[in-house]
Structure 1
Amino acid sequence: MEQTLCCYRHPDRETGIRCTRCERPICPSCMVSASVGFQCPSCVSESNSSHHASQPRTVAGGRVGHGDPFLVTKILIGLNVAVWLLELAVGNKLLTDLGLYAYCDSPPYNNVCGGVANGEWYRVITSAFLHDRTNPAHIGFNMLSLWWIGAPLEQRIGRWHYSALYLVAALGGSAAVLLLAPDSLTIGASGAIFGLFGATAVYMRRLRYDMRPIMILLVLNIIFSFTWANVSWQAHLGGLVAGTLVAIGMLYAPQRRRVLVQWGTTAAVLVVSLALTAVAVAQVTS
């Protein structure tokens, strides 16, 4: 059973929220809104009174970036839209040249291989920036999801953590596709976006927020993945697992050796994703 928390300044008031700096439980009366969650009056006072206060940090321990807090998300959306517009101009060439698949013809066809099985490993990441040029809803829905889920998450965990999370989730999605459906041409940012869904759930759990909204949204998207035609549930599943694991390492890392644990976890998930991709290719080529 989960332990009931009481505000450290008002012991008679139960709460589920912690200060993002000192992690002490605080009630609504003590919650001071900050750029990354809520802080307690003591931490706010300490920050304001010190002329040499350290630079503000996110809940993941990263420095709060100057300027636009949603910069990486905007760049990712811009890249996806630019590639889609290029697809409109050149036709299906980008899909065949950069989309994700792996196959080998069996004898007597001389084992001719294509895609990742032909050494074109760049497809595991380039495919995450491609969308169906004949279906504007494909890129439209993905980019709206990226903005609604990604932008707040970028602000709360920081640019570098967010960028690494997105990349590894995309590669996790690609690994799952190659393991489970290697001969199907797969494109789209949804694998990485599902990783952001998982990371958001971890973030909300970490700060003891009400998780029902994000869990309902996640369940609906999972149902959508398995019931709609031409949707790669393999990419969604792989991205969700990879993004969730990376987020757990980032948000639950202990204060001591936090950086080592965070980036060690990220590197481990990355290595596993690439290793699974290698196993998938070996199966196709054997």
Structure 2
Amino acid sequence: MDTISTNPPPAEDGRTTCYRHPRRETLLRCARCDRHICPDCMREAPVGHRCPDCVRDDNRTVRQARTVFGGRPTSRPVVTYTLIALTVLAYLLELAHPAILDQFDSIGTALVDDAGQRYVDDGADYPGYRLIGIAHGEWYRLITSAFLHLLPTQGVLGILHIVFNLYWLWLLGRVVEERLGGSRFLAVYLLAALGGSVLGFLVDPHQGAVGASGAVYGLAGCYVVLARRLHHHPIEPSRVIIPFLIWMVLSAGWTSWQGHLGGLLVGGLAGLGIAYAPAKRRTAVQAAVIVALALLLLALVLLRSMNLNG
């Protein structure tokens, strides 16, 4: 089908004007549709110049570049930096209002009195006390706990808690986001955070926990899978293994191993689904893996909640 010119009629003296700016005189034409364009509307093209409408039409038909795993390439790890900023912002809010820790940690079930004091839920009915936790509908704790960290009042370990997690997020996040693209990277991060909270809820629902460790361990598991798939390790293993070992020694006895293990397993499984998805239906398979893992985790939360409330 031929393009119909929509140039404005020439002026009485024969002058031609831009089809988008009728008051601007011009002799330039679009190399594709042959309409007159002024210098402000002129866009560079492989041959000659084109108008904005033709450039827009061309962009719709151009195949977008993709990473090796199907994501959109990004020049900057925007999602990684955004997660870091949100974690720092949450920490500043904690410093201003320490009660946020009790309101958004990953506690499964507990009793709270009017003063906010928390007690272990032993299944008995205590007048004047209310039940809180994931088992009682506060499912948001599964994710919000991943953005909170111990306060400096817990000593030097409280500061190291957020420092180490932000370091690993910065180190691993940039590489994983570059390979997966922003949306897939965010899905893996949140899914790993969910996995860590869920395993903690399943094993010990009476123990609350906070920290991005589960999500970060999930990034580590995903990174290992991607690196093996490509046979390329952009990060020296010592830069990952040594800090992890140091943190495991320093935090032994007071961190949630369930959160670490849950995040690692879920992040690794998500990485497998993304890295080894068939090229023909890659996006659909990857989305199905992410959704299936999320539904499985939520189903486990539901079953555990029913068990605790029964």
- Calculate the TM-score normalised by the size of structure 2: 0.69
Runs of 5+ consecutive residues of structure 2 not aligned to the other structure: 1-58, 110-120, 153-157
Secondary structure at the counterpart of residue 102 of structure 1 = coil
Instruction: Report the counterpart of residue 190 of structure 2 in structure 1.
Output: 167
Which residue identity does 2:260 align to in structure 1?
A: H
- Confirm or deny: 8 A CA contact 1:105 1:112 kept in the other structure: no
Q: Deviations over 1:6-26 (max 9, x none)?
A: xxxxxxxxxxxxxxxxxxxxx
Greater RCO, 1 or 2 (C-alpha within 8 Å, sep 6+): 1
Residue 63 of structure 1 pairs with residue 72 of structure 2: yes
**Equivalent residue, structure 1, for 2:124:** 107
Q: Contact 1:116/1:123 (CA < 8 Å) preserved in 2? A: yes
Matched-pair contact (CA < 8 Å) for 1:196–1:243: yes
| Cα distance change on mapping 1:269 and 1:223 into 2, 3 Å | farther
Specify the alignment match of 1:126 in structure 2. 144
Structure 1 CA distance for aligned equivalents of residues 235 and 134 of structure 2: 39
After TM superposition, the structure 1 = structure 2 runs for residues 175-194 of structure 1, keeping only pairs within 5 Å, are: 175-194=198-217
* Partner residue, 1:74: 81
- Percent sequence identity over aligned pairs: 39
Aligned equivalent of 1:204, options 227, 239, 255: 227
Matching residue of 2:303? 279
Q: Alignment partner for residue 266 of structure 1, among 259, 280, 290?
A: 290
Contact 2:107 2:201 in 1 (8 A): yes
3-state SS of paired residue (1:113): strand
1:115 Cα shift? 1.0
Residue 134 of structure 2 aligns with an amino acid whose one-letter code is V
- Shift in Å, 1:69: 2.0
Q: Give the gaps of 5 or more residues in structure 1.
A: 1-50
Structure 1: distance between partners of 2:215 and 2:307: 25
Matches within 5 A, 1:5-154: 54-65=63-74, 68-91=75-98, 93-103=99-109, 104-109=121-126, 113-134=131-152, 135-154=158-177
Larger radius of gyration: 2
1:215 CA drift (Å): 8.7
The answer (yes or no) to whether the contact 1:73–1:150 under 8 Å persists in 2 is yes
Residue 279 of structure 1: how far off its partner (Å): 2.2
Paired residues, number: 233
